[in-house]
Every structure is written in structure tokens, then in C-alpha cells.
Amino acid sequence: MSKKRESSDLDAESRVSGSGESGEAPGAAMETIKTVVYAVLIAFLVRTFAYEPFNIPSGSMKPTLLVGDYLFVSKFSYGYSHYSLPFSPKIFSGRILADEPERGDVAVFKEPRDNKTDYIKRIVGLPGDTIQVVGGILHINGTPVKREKVTDRPDRNSINMPTTVTEYVETLPNGVKHLIWEEGDARQLDNTRAYTVPEGHYFGMGDNRDNSQDSRVIGFIPAENLIGRAEFLFFSHDSSARIWEIWKWPSAIRFGRLGDGID
């Protein structure tokens, strides 16, 4: 009698807990699927509403950002538009929880000519500002922006030819200081017309002033096209090691840039 009841109790326990060969595998598989679904959902929410990773493929923001830098962009800094969503479905217009960029922010946005390509530039012009470059010097509302020479540096230009750049500290009207590079003050984009930034738009420029396709070329940045503000680097490499050259990875990683904030 005791053995029979013990067997019945074990059978009941087996049915409740799902243990045994017939129940364990499906239960474990379901838990794995749930974990994967939750992970994907969390990653989707973080990428859409909090932080999105980007990498730098060109030198237009030197010396602030280098080719091979990987950074996080805060999606909540300026609120959300339909460009904040994966694949940019146009399910609404304008911005939700909108907040304006500050002068000097390094911002990621959809390039206004195609509304698809991700660009990163420094916001130097706000709505209502007049922006002009005269002799290589940025003018905001008719006043030249202060710049102070730091040093001359070797570099390579947009066609990979050796060149020398002059590094300056530029101080924007709100006190934001950042580095810029100039190959000279008589290049193609060193003397421009005066641009008046319309409402709901911004003017962005690359810190590598003579090697940047920015608002001097692509036009004003609509507020709706803003993706977010660049915050900090989480990885950086100098492209000297191919993916299979594992022994070269340590020397290719720019360890000194990891975790750096973006000013």
C-alpha cells in the first residue's frame, strides 16, 4: 500500500513540475526561446529610445572623432522622430518630447538630401542665426568666432595624400571649446555666402573644416532629421589589423580613447 501511494505521489509531482524525459526538453526549449525574445525586445527598446551605436567611416570630424571610432548616441537628447525608429517608418511627423540641441553639440542626423544616410557634425548654427565662413574663420551673427592656434600636424587629405593641418581651439559664443583642423584659409569652403538658419533647422559643420561635407554643402538640418547626441566612445581601432590577424589586434586598438566622452 505504501509503495503504491509513493509511486502515485511521484507521478503527480512529475506532472506538475514537468520533469522527466517527456517534459524536460520542451520546457527548456521554451525557456530558451523566451530568453532570446526578451533579449531582442530589450535591445530593440534600448536602441530605439536610449542609446544607439554608430561608427565613424570618414575623417570629417577629426581630431574629435577618428576613422575607426565606435560611439554611443543618446536617442533621448532631442526627443524622438520617426527617424528614431529602425527603418524610419513614417508613422508620425515632427518630434515627440522634443528638446533643442545646444550650440557645440556633436549630433547624428539623417542627411537632408536623401533622408537616409547617417551624418555626424557639430551644431554651430541655431534657428535664426546667420552663419558665414570668411577667410577660414567661422562667423556667427556677424561676429568672428575666436580661434587659437595649437600646433601643426601631419595628416592625409580626402584623396589620401600627405598634407599638414593646423590645429586650433575654437570657442563658440556659448563658451563651448573644441578642436578644429584647417589645411589653410583659402580652400573651397573657406569663403561662403551668409546663411540664415530657418526655424526648425540647424547648421552643422565638421571639425575637419577643409574635408567635410556639411551644411555648407548639404544644406540646413531639419529638426525632424536629428537622431541624437554623440556621448562617448566604446571602441576604437586604427584599421592596421585585418579581422583574421588576431595577433595584431592589441596594437590596432586605441586603448587610450576607450570610454572617452565626446566634446
Distances (CA, A) of 177 to 7, 53, 97, 262: 78, 25, 28, 12
Give me 262's grid cell: 565626446
Q: Provide CB contacts within 8 A for 141, sequence distance 6+.
A: 129, 130
Please state, as a whole number, how many other Cβ atoms lie within 10 Å of the Cβ of residue 87: 6
Of 81, 121, 212, 215, the active-site residue reads 121
Distances (CA, A) of 34 to 42, 45, 46, 251: 12, 16, 18, 40
Of 60, 77, 212, 215, the active-site residue reads 60
121 is catalytic: yes
Q: Rounded to whole angstroms, how far apart are CA atoms 143 and 229?
A: 26
Can you give the C-alpha Rg of the chain in angstroms? 26
Half-sphere exposure of 225 (CA within 13 A, CB side): 24
E-state strands within 56-176: 69-74, 106-110, 118-125, 130-134, 137-140, 143-144, 146-156, 162-171
* Cis peptide upstream of residue 63 (ω within 30 degrees of 0): yes
Q: Rounded to whole angstroms, how far apart are CA atoms 98 and 251?
A: 42
Q: Where in the sequence numbering do the catalytic residues fall?
A: 60, 121
